[in-house]
């Protein structure tokens, strides 16, 4: 295992001022996104859309890495047929790959899921390394509801994340460890906090059991927020305070950074919450706080594009601006007035 390479790449992924673009939507998920703008989800259209994101001029100022889907890692730029992994590397952006096979129902545990994909992962990681991937992502989902999550659900997902992380590091690939406590539900921010803390604590216990090199990994956690249907929605400062409190209680200092998922938050909320954490707490943290957003980086660009080639410049402008705003949030210098100026 190349400890130095893992540490160097992990540190680059969470460098201050930069974040990770999650462009790893599966083909079915990408189809749903395209349906929302009335575009057919063909291989060419998916290639075209990813191409417009990756070839956005100067996007590397704000993006340190891109999580790709299996299909996307095998695609190329439309202009000169350069493999996406090689093109991203030429811009100083690290290519990554989603390797889990999705969350499936957990046997004997109604309403809960476990992420699959460990079988054959060692061989897949070796292939992905040859194709240029230098980090990977595995997402576990924890649902809050009546009498859930159970200890069993948290345990099996933490164990799978740790086994995945070990296989990644063996292959010279930085693992993004993503335990997501879902926003779905009417639970309070207090409940989200307690479940998130319990989940993260179990994840790091399992990572320790599997001898994971913490300096060579990145945590992709949810923020501590109110459930989507909760009658009281916590404000920006409370979300920032509770999230940082939860991370301080669970994340070892050796971890180089936490790259948050947006988890269904609006573009503006995801940026504002990250900004408040860094503006208020960055001086007291052992690790950097940055972003690994999908929809919160892409939504405005997807809408602006609408499947029309003539709209690509406008879509790239929209993507660039969202990446810039989130870059500012990593240093605590974003303000909501910037959103108004964009209208």
Distances (CA, A) of 71 to 24, 212, 307, 333: 9, 29, 19, 36
Structure tokens at 215: 């300096």
pTM for the whole structure: 0.96
Q: Whole-angstrom Cα distance, residue 132 to residue 94?
A: 9
Question: What does the buried/exposed string (b/e) look like for 47-72 if buried means 16 or more CB atoms within 10 Å of the residue's CB?
Answer: bbbbbbbbbbeebbebbbbbbbbbeb
Residue owning tokens 């307690």: 194
| pLDDT given at position 343 | 44
Q: Whole-angstrom Cα distance, residue 289 to residue 143?
A: 24
| pLDDT given at position 342 | 54
Average pLDDT, whole number, for the chain? 96
For 128: left if phi > 0, alpha if psi spans -120 to 50, otherwise beta; the answer is: alpha
Q: Give SS3 for 203.
A: helix
Q: What is the arithmetic mean of pLDDT over 66-85?
A: 97
Q: Whole-angstrom Cα distance, residue 239 to residue 320?
A: 26
| pLDDT given at position 337 | 84
Q: Which of 178, 197, 215, 336 is labelled catalytic?
A: 178
Structure tokens at 69: 């889907």
| pLDDT given at position 338 | 83
Q: What is the arithmetic mean of pLDDT over 189-207?
A: 98
pLDDT tens string 276-317: 999 999 999 999 999 999 999 999 999 999 999 999 999 999
**220 a catalytic residue:** yes
Residue 341 predicted with pLDDT over 70: no
Helices 43-54 & 312-329, crossing angle to 10 degrees? 50
Q: What is the arithmetic mean of pLDDT over 38-45?
A: 96
Q: What structural domains does the chain harbor?
A: 3-342 (3.20.20.70)
**98 a catalytic residue:** no
Q: Which of 12, 18, 98, 220 is labelled catalytic?
A: 220
Structure tokens at 141: 């989902």
Q: Whole-angstrom Cα distance, residue 221 to residue 13?
A: 15
Q: Whole-angstrom Cα distance, residue 41 to residue 342?
A: 29
Q: What is the arithmetic mean of pLDDT over 103-126?
A: 98
| pLDDT given at position 264 | 87
Q: Whole-angstrom Cα distance, residue 245 to residue 292?
A: 20
| pLDDT given at position 339 | 80
Contact at 8 Å (CB) between 23 and 65? Answer: no
CA dihedral 259, 262, 267, 269 (to 10 degrees): -90
pLDDT tens string 227-269: 999 999 999 999 999 999 999 999 999 999 999 999 989 989 9
pLDDT tens string 145-191: 999 999 999 999 999 999 999 999 999 999 999 999 999 999 999 99
pLDDT tens string 47-61: 999 999 999 999 999
* CA neighbours closer than 13 Å in the CB half-sphere of residue 65: 32
């Amino acid at each position: 295992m190349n400890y130095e390479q893992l540490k160097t790449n992990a540190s680059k992924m969470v460098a201050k001022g930069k974040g990770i673009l999650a462009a790893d939507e599966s083909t079915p998920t990408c189809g749903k996104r395209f349906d929302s703008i009335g575009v057919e989800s063909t291989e060419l259209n998916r290639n075209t859309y990813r191409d417009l994101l990756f070839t956005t001029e100067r996007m590397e100022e704000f993006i340190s890495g891109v999580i790709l889907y299996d299909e996307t890692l095998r695609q190329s730029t439309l202009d000169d047929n350069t493999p996406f992994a090689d093109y991203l590397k030429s811009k100083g952006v690290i290519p990554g790959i989603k390797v889990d096979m999705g969350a499936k129902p957990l046997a004997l545990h109604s309403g809960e899921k476990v992420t699959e994909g460990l079988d054959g992962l060692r061989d897949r990681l070796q292939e992905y390394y040859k194709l240029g991937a230098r980090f990977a992502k595995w997402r576990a989902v924890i649902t809050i509801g009546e009498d859930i999550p159970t200890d069993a659900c948290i345990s099996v997902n933490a164990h799978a994340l740790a086994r995945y992380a070990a296989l990644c590091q063996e292959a010279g690939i930085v693992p993004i460890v993503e335990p997501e406590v879902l926003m779905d539900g009417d639970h309070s921010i207090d409940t989200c906090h307690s479940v998130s803390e319990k989940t993260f604590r179990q994840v790091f216990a399992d990572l320790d059991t599997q001898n994971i090199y913490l300096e060579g990994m990145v945590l992709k956690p949810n923020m501590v927020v109110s459930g989507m249907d909760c009658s009281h929605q916590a404000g920006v400062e409370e979300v920032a305070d509770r999230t940082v409190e939860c991370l301080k209680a669970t994340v070892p200092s050796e971890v180089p950074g936490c790259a948050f998922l947006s988890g269904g938050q609006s573009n503006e909320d995801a940026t504002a919450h990250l900004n408040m954490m860094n503006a208020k707490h960055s001086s007291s943290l052992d690790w950097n706080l940055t972003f690994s957003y999908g929809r919160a980086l892409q939504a405005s660009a997807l809408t602006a594009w609408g499947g029309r080639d003539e709209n690509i410049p406008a879509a790239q402008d929209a993507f660039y601006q969202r990446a810039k705003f989130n870059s500012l949030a990593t240093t605590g210098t974003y303000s909501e007035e910037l959103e108004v100026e964009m209208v």
